[in-house]
Structure 1
Amino acid sequence: MPRGLTRRGALAAAGAAALGSLAGCSGRGSERRFWDDPPSLDVDAVPREFDDSVPARPRIVPVGFEPEVAAAFADRVDRLLSPIPDPLTAERLPHGGFRGRIEAERAAAREALPGPDEPLVPLEAVKRYSTARDHAASAVGTWAGVTVEGDPGAVAPDVGAVRQRASETLDALPGPAADPLAGAAVYGPIERWYDEALRRTLVGSGSPADEANPIRAGKAVGDIERVQSYVEAGRYLGDRYAASLADPQPVAEPIRREMDRLGSAVGDRLRELHGEGIEDLRENPGPEAFVDERAVARDAPSADLLSSAVYRSFDGLWFDPVAVGDYEPDHPATGLTRTALVQTRLRAVDAVAARVEAGDTMFPDDAAAIGAARGAAVESAAALAESENPLARWLATQFLPLFAEQDDALAADERSALSAATAYAEYRWIEIVADEAGAVAESVATAIDS
């Protein structure tokens, strides 16, 4: 049996060691560890593929791109790439580094473009078109930087004008919606595009012509083009959504009120975790704050999962606009969705902690248990993705990508008890966090209706 440790012992070490502790390499010398003698598992019997399909990304925005608009986005990529010789030979550009960069960016642009029959929801289509335009602009910006007659600034939109368009668009959001929940889900991701552009992408950006290095100049052109693409796409989808409404409602104030209520609940939970005297609620208290003095299995996958889940939750608190403490996000749709995401994660961490306290190691009993755990995770994720609640569907978009890494690990040629146990624990996390997301989304709907 694994040796039990209490809150201030094993889980503090597990939080620091994370996946390394699962492998038994946290530097505790010759002291016996749980994974020195793990339970038996027939790794060869673990399935490499499964019958249950991961749910498709749910639709959040009920309107899409008209064919002519989609064609215009694709045509922009072609027009950006048109000045670059194809093929780009060594005779045309002897410098192999610059040539390779241009060719890689051009190929990435073409690969990112959605195919004509590719079933993409509108927000995913925006991401693909914007990524394609980013790569295409990076390619032509680099090409302009290495040619005698080239001018990277001439192939990029004016950065000041793009910054102004993004700011004006952001200030006008959220627009009218069918109801506050729909408005938060539709406008939250769009607000996020512009908020990130203004706070990160375009911070300190000047004219690409000021960059002496052609590759840096190309990247600057790509950044500006990507933001411009988001501005165009966001305005188009927002206007089309508003025009589709039979009874449009202003939703900014109810969204903000619910954001504040949810943020207050998150703040209360963080104060419980930190105790007295904390200066910043966003500080990570460590996984030990989530369990009491009952013994837990040391170095079990459940303890490792608890550590990584705590890290994810507090990473979001630092880098996302979450309504915690004295901070009130400027943009309510983004603030509500991101605060709901943090509350979901914290509730899921509490659920994992309860399993740790109960002695659940989250090590699969046998190979079949891994498939069963994945099936349960798919079922919970599908219920979230297919919910009538728009916030639930948005939350599903945050967790569905978690399947890919574990599915790939189990399909790999080289597998181990470690990789199989990690996948099993992560599938259980997806099930837990999807269930908690449904509860959070329902509570938000109830609060808004009350």
Structure 2
Amino acid sequence: MKPQHPRPQSFGAALVCLLFLLAPCAASQTPPVFYVDVQGKSGTEIGRTLGGAIKQRFPDIEKRYDTYLHHLFDRLGFEQGIAEQVQAMLPNIDQRYRDEMEGIASRWQISSRDQPGDGYLSLNEYWLMQLLADIGLRTRGSGFGVWGTTSASGSPVVGRNVDWYTDESLRSLQAITVYQDQRGGIANIGFAGYVGMLSGFNQHGLFLAHLDSPLRQPDSDPAAYHAIFFAIRRALETSSRIAAARAQLTGKQYASSHNILMADKIEVQVLEQPRASPPLVRTDSSRYRASNPWNRPEQIAVVDCYVLARSPSNCYDSQDTLRWQRFRSLARFNAGDNPARVTDIIEIMFDNAHPPQAIFNSSSVQAMAFTPANGKFYLYATPVSGVHEPDPHMLEFSKLILPVEPNTRWSELWYLPMLLAAIALSVGLFYHKPEISSGSTE
């Protein structure tokens, strides 16, 4: 299903959308899309602009995040000392991202008290949301990709499901944030106010997504590790190909063990990155563990464990084993009479055989697909109720990252958003409801 509302057709229009309407331009039944101009802006400036827009769209966002953290703590039994763990990791996070967090928080109502469930959000609690994967939350998911002659288009197609524990408050905050500058931008697929990146892509067609892969290891000093979601964002901001992103990601140590699903305009790979062990790159022709065979040319899958022969063995959960087997049974595409189309990848990501261990299951909060060659993105976001539609579908976002003319100098066009806004307001061209943007639908 394609979005029916028009979307901004220029960078200036996107700025009008964000800075003048001060609300994400999307219908309430789909994740809002926040566009923010980052050209020449400091992290604090970016955060203040974005924080104001988010607050306009979600006036009680602080309470929603606090409610989620309260439910999460009750469920997982987190012990005291979380704030200390969070503070210990902050020095390893890029200052620009910390400034952006502070800028966002400056536009929200932030409490000085760390007490999940009190109806308020403290700065430590907001940071905790950014670092959940680093301090123990099971950020489950799965993914699948094809490329080369096995792809009907001859270029990669990648799919990815996010299987987080969520409640209504967090599901209601699903959002897409596009950071746009004169070179292009990055799209952050996640939640409003989420500065790190769980899933995302850039103008070059590079796609990165985090998946859990826990090891039974003792806790370690959080001050010695980097935060993986911020590392993913940094890689997307500075890389155009898998190799460059991989070099960025493997140059740091992380508090969590995980997989990174990676795709660009040429291929799809998985980075198996166990804590305190060397990271390994997995392709379709890698040496797999005997208990997790693959043998599927130009196709790859990923679940919440490692399957390379040289990686630590951690496929303890029957859900991982069953999903892996299911992916392998579905991965029967070939260059001859059965090449994979985008619709095939979407169908796989919605496969619900063998519940509750299905690829698409009751915990799947997002299902997505991406084609790096043309930048088309497809997203299913679970309803706030958490109950999947009987016949779920993904919305198509043709160009989330706005095209940039090669000779355009945005610094010389600073007046354009104000001019467009003034003209539009004077002739009554704006909608009564700010519902224009990528992927919007009623």
TM-score above 0.5, yes or no: no
Greater strand content: 2
Larger Cα Rg: Structure 1 or Structure 2? 1
Give TM-score scaled by structure 2 length: 0.25
Greater helix content: 1
